[in-house]
Structure 1
Amino acid sequence: MKFSEHCYNDRVNLPDFQKNCSDYCHLSLDKPILVGFSGGADSLSLLILLQRAGFEVFAAHFNHHLRDEADRDEQAAGKMAASLGIPFFSGSGDVNALVKEKKLSVEEAARQSRYQWLLDQAEMLGVQAVAVAHTADDQVETVLMHLLRGTGLDGLTGMPFRQIFPLWNPRLPVVRPLLSIWRKDTEAICKDSGLVPVQDESNQSTRYFRNRIRLELIPYLQEYNPQIKNHLLQTACILADEQSIIEMTKEDAWAKSLHQKGDRWVSMNRQPLETFSEGLRRSTLRRALVELKPDIRDIDFQITERLSEFVLHGTRSGEMHVFSDIWAEASTGGITLWRGRPGLSQMYPQLEAGKELQLTIPGIWTFPGWRIELCNDELFSALEAIHQGGSTDHVWLDADRLSLPLLLRRAYAGERIAPLGMGGKTQKLSDYWVNHKIPRLARQNWPLVVSGSDIIWVAGVGISEKAAVTPETRQVVRLSLQIHQPGG
């Protein structure tokens, strides 16, 4: 039976639940499961069903300290777990502090605190997964939330049965065995067990977006179609089935467009992005945003549309603020997404503001992510390297044409350079940057090597005619620019 067909079942029985666990959550009976246990009807029924299905389970309760009754509910949850003979663990966090620190909504801060704690506990206990009690009702509410905010196919498929949250734990999955079971059925399971679940009064507050959808919007939609919840769930299930086919195309597009990625950036090749259809381009850019910011929850259409427009047409500055702390930067042949304002030193050599260094022979000087080395070299080796085409990262200069010590510094306003091959003619450094396609944001702190008053090497880009090796050269020095890995 396909996942979408399974979603249509409007009943609860143990074989259906076991199928959810094995086929969709990929759980096995040989390792325990940690259950996020609030004490409410959904999480209590999840504990009961997992226990009946033969799983070893632990109950974990996170106290958000957002309500006066929070401590009472924690105690009640502990007693319920004890009555079922299930080990109980509890923890707490300062959700309001996280709201202020990260400027999150209370809902999102509570969610992040809870998942982080649950996955930390799961790691310590050596379980196979964290199980949470999202039901079919939660799935419908999630789909409507995404639809109201503007979403693509990913948002309309809702929550998966099994999911990894790399931000909190890249290995342990979060599973949702109740996704095809309605809330009315979890309440019936609790009633049959003789246990009274905790009633969270905040679930009735329209202060929260999800609650407004559940308490106001869904009842309103049911006036038009009493089966609206079933239809929305079926739609999400069908789209999830069909998405698996689309995923192959999306994975191929991602492989073609990804260039490199680091902790704070994702670099993508522009050419394949430009050739993709609009939908595939937006999907690939959405994937890049998720790779960069795993904790992101909602990426609406406007975000990916603006980013797609940036790929095709750019901006005058070569950069764009995407949303939150995410920035996009255009470079030659590529697009880089940054978490935080573009951290150029990971892509381009960048001196710290105000830093100037005297270069003597021999010597090695480091700056964030990079290093420059200066040493004497053999004339024969230099001539052979130059004859073979040389490299802008390793250059040879005529030692007798230099005024030592050399100076490593940033550019001054209005400076000029005499580029190699122009017969000694000079040009504005600003034009030199443009000709070599150096991103505007990278120019201010780009390292220059200066002899006397002359720029003789724009590190990694090119040298000046005034220090170049000639047939009259008798001794040479070598300058090298390399990526620097401390301890490497």
Structure 2
Amino acid sequence: MLKRVRNTLLNNKILAREKPILVGVSGGYDSLSLLHILHQLNYSLIAAYFNHELRIEANDEELKVEKFAVDLGIPFICGGQNVGSYAAQHRLSIEEAARKLRYGYLFEKAEVWQAQAVAVGHNADDQVETVLMHLLRGTGLDGLLGMQTSLLPNSWSDDITLLRPLLSIWRSEILDYCNHYNLQPIIDSSNVDEKYFRNRLRHSLIPIIEEYAPHVSERIWRMAVTLVGDYDIVTQSVDLAWENCYVEQGAGYIAFKVKNLRKQTLGVQRRLVRLAVKKLRANMRDLDFDAVERATAFLRSPSHSKQIDFCLGLRLILEGEQFYIATWESDLPNMSWPQLEDKNLGKLSIPGKLILSNGWIFSASFVENMEQTKELILENRNPFQAWIFFDCRKSTMTLRLRQPGDRFSPLGMHGKTVKISDYMINKKIPRRARTAWPLVCINGEIAWVPGFHLGESYKISSKTKYAVHLELIRKNINDEENQNEL
């Protein structure tokens, strides 16, 4: 058993004996054996006890654990919190609240002591119980893997490993180890209380399953080990898909490329959603199956509003070419759209320039060479540049925002008009960008929607004598990048 634990530590590169391992010790068979084994292997250790304040005898148990650690020459630390109150306050089960507070304490102290890992005493039987719990509650591949021997990063740290050195050791072997070394574990009365789901599984369900399928525990344990290899293959595929779909992560949001995300298989989409939620909600353990399905369904067929409530205080937004998973309080990026401010509204000076928000500059100049201009129009691929028929002697050009009742006659529609609101929707201008999107108007009529169409009445023809050149330029971004913004 000592050799197997040593090999586990070697395989997981826990080699720095001078850097401590913080061991969570409750005083039971598992954690007492773990502390003793790691001491035998000459690792630098800290023994940490967390009092859940659920049982009166816990105070005495703390003293016993302290004595055991001190007798081995191991530093001892302790802490605690009322798990019952915390569970009620945060609407958690006792088991979940205990786990959250216990691990939070262990990793907090591990950071203080500059530990390389937090080691806990989960064994092979615990692994089988965990897999069955996941299966009964509904799970995917991740749940069937059960617990990992070594986990970094984890829900509590990006730098300190969560280590389970006994995960391949059966409970019966641990009992034999305790007897062999005359260790005196504490018997926790809550371990037989069947009001807890894991205890019902351990004492009632698994023995019944064993009657129908002898040695089923060993088979479940082997399955979890085998699936780790399959999981590695899946993870590689998901990592590649993430690189292909990911745009950015900001304060409270993650953005994906809609087009690329939709190309992924349903299984990969599900995993990308789960991974994004995990990044936004680090303490989340189990993401509801229905929530994930709701996300993939929204991606395939978004609602009219392009936004829905998701889960865990998150929302889903489809905006232009971006798919967001975001908190409700987060401010999404404006994608550097051209946006008008009050100071920009009104009559345009020609020639002249205006400084818009988000680094955009609006410039206007008179066309002097009409023949050359016609060639430039044919070659133009920049949607933020336009040549417009305009006679300053008879007309006024203004820059304004959309107004109720606005209609627009895009070039190519032969004089037919559409509501500007419908036009913006059809062009997939994000909802948040529409209100302040700049519109170039001549005598009040929309003549150009920058980034999109020129108005039918303002195109340059062979008979055009007067025209202006208009352009929106974003600082340090070329025309091609401007085009890709939309």
Do residues 133 (structure 1) and 121 (structure 2) align? yes
Do residues 447 (structure 1) and 436 (structure 2) align? yes
- Equivalent position to 2:428, from 437, 440, 449: 437
Supply the distance in 1 between the matched residues of 2:79 and 2:101 (Cα, whole angstroms): 10
Range with greater deviation from structure 2 (49-58 or 20-29): 20-29
Supply the distance in 2 between the matched residues of 1:385 and 1:114 (Cα, whole angstroms): 69
CA distance 1:402–1:273, change in 2 (3 Å): closer
Contact 2:27 2:64 (8 Å CA) reproduced: yes
| Cα distance, 1:473 vs structure 2 | 6.4
Supply the distance in 1 between the matched residues of 2:142 and 2:363 (Cα, whole angstroms): 58
Instruction: Please list the CA deviations of residues 215-249 of structure 1 after superposition, one character each: whole Å capped at 9, or x if unmatched.
Output: 33222222323422111111111111333344333
Tell me which amino acid in the other structure corresponds to 1:447. A
Aligned to 1:279: 267
Contact 1:379 1:475 (8 Å CA) reproduced: yes
Aligned to 2:30: 42
Aligned to 2:97: 109
Contact 2:338 2:437 (8 Å CA) reproduced: no
Contact 2:439 2:449 (8 Å CA) reproduced: no
Contact 1:27 1:128 (8 Å CA) reproduced: no
- CA RMSD between the two structures: 4.3
CA distance 1:444–1:103, change in 2 (3 Å): farther
- Equivalent position to 2:219, from 231, 235, 246: 231
Aligned to 2:189: 201
Secondary structure of 1:74's match? Answer: helix
CA distance 1:309–1:277, change in 2 (3 Å): same
- Equivalent position to 1:297, from 267, 273, 285: 285
Contact 1:33 1:55 (8 Å CA) reproduced: yes
CA distance 1:358–1:54, change in 2 (3 Å): same
Supply the distance in 1 between the matched residues of 2:354 and 2:183 (Cα, whole angstroms): 75
Supply the distance in 1 between the matched residues of 2:444 and 2:147 (Cα, whole angstroms): 61
Contact 1:145 1:210 (8 Å CA) reproduced: yes
Instruction: Please list the CA deviations of residues 67-119 of structure 1 after superposition, one character each: whole Å capped at 9, or x if unmatched.
Output: 43443333332222112211012233454565466543332233222223222
CA distance 1:198–1:390, change in 2 (3 Å): same
Aligned to 1:52: 40
Structure 1 unmatched runs, 5+: 1-12, 484-488
CA distance 1:186–1:462, change in 2 (3 Å): same
CA distance 1:113–1:349, change in 2 (3 Å): farther
Instruction: Please list the CA deviations of residues 394-414 of structure 1 after superposition, one character each: whole Å capped at 9, or x if unmatched.
Output: 99999x8456xx777xx6655
CA distance 1:309–1:59, change in 2 (3 Å): same
Secondary structure of 1:323's match? Answer: coil
Range with greater deviation from structure 2 (357-366 or 244-253): 357-366
Supply the distance in 1 between the matched residues of 2:92 and 2:476 (Cα, whole angstroms): 40
CA distance 1:456–1:373, change in 2 (3 Å): farther
Supply the distance in 2 between the matched residues of 1:120 and 1:458 (Cα, whole angstroms): 59
Q: How many aligned residue pairs are there? A: 456
TM-score, normalized by length of structure 1?
0.76
| Cα distance, 1:449 vs structure 2 | 4.8
Query: Identical aligned pairs, as a percentage?
Result: 34
Do residues 186 (structure 1) and 165 (structure 2) align? no
Structure 2 unmatched runs, 5+: 346-351, 368-372, 478-486
| Cα distance, 1:319 vs structure 2 | 3.4
TM-score, normalized by length of structure 2?
0.76
